[in-house]
Structure formats: structure tokens, C-alpha cells
Amino acid sequence: MTQSRMTGAGSPDLLLPDVASPVAAPFWSAARAHRFVLQRCAACGHVRWTPSPICPECLGEEAEWDGQPSGGTVWGAATYHRALYPAFERDVPYVVALVELDAGPKMIGRVVDAPVAEDLADTRVSVTYLDVTPEVTLVGFRLDR
């Protein structure tokens, strides 16, 4: 797993996740340490993204945070030629993909090294970490080459 830096980092226009959220804090804490974890239902074993207090499969209320394989396959991707937020203006064009993780769930994230004109469907990717502040590390993807 590799580390990258977003050029929009530190911009007051950059919307950052609530890393102290009781439901998602373990995910963000692991990301800050460059580890990839997802919730696993203690009752049925379903691995889920996004974090939730209740399992969408069995409605169980107990979950564990497990280290997971840090790769997946792109389902689809979009190239942004206009910045979604002002903080990303220096990054245009950039690619965002829907990735089916090897652990099962799908996750949306930035693909940091994707060619903008390339069809990425069925492309293998690995998790990468985007350190945007000392407290916040986002999870993105890097093409497997």
C-alpha cells in the first residue's frame, strides 16, 4: 500500500469526514495509520461499507473492525474535468471510481494515478492513503500495474 498527497490538502474549501463519528472513528483511525479495515457483523459475518450501527443483512447491532484485503476491481469511473469543490481545482482532471472491494462491499474513491481518457472498468486497483491533514487520511485507489 502506498501513500499519496492531495494537492487540495489544507484548503479551507475541502470537505473532510467527521473522523470522531462514533460509528466510523475506527475506520478513520486505521486509515490514519495506513491500515484498511471494514466492519464485520458479529452475528452473520457480513462485511459492510459504509459504517453503520446496524447490519443491513441481519439487523444485528454488534460489529467488529477487521483488517481486509486492500484491493478490488473498478466497476465504473468518471473523470472530473471541472472540480467538484474549489479545493480540487488544481487537480483537474481527476478520476473517481466505484470499486468492488475484494472483501465484498463497493466503495467510491479517487484513483490517484488513472489516465483520464482510459476506460477503467474491470481494472484492478489497490488501496492508497491520501494524507490531507495531520488528523485526516482519506482512502483512495491506485492502479495495479
Q: Tens digit of pLDDT for each residue in 7-46?
A: 444 455 578 899 999 999 999 999 999 999 999 999 999 9
The whole model's pTM is what?
0.86
For the chain, what percentages of helix, strand and coil (3-state, to nearest 5) are there?
10, 35, 55
Amino acid letter for position 23: V
For 122: left if phi > 0, alpha if psi spans -120 to 50, otherwise beta; the answer is left
Judged against a pLDDT cut of 50, whether residue 3 lies above it is answered with no
**What residues form DSSP beta bridges with 63?**
41
Domains of the chain: 18-68 (no CATH), 69-145 (2.40.50)
Cell numbers linked to 73: 476491481
Query: Mind listing the pLDDT tens digit for each residue in 91-117?
Result: 899 999 999 999 999 999 999 998 887
Cell numbers linked to 67: 483488517
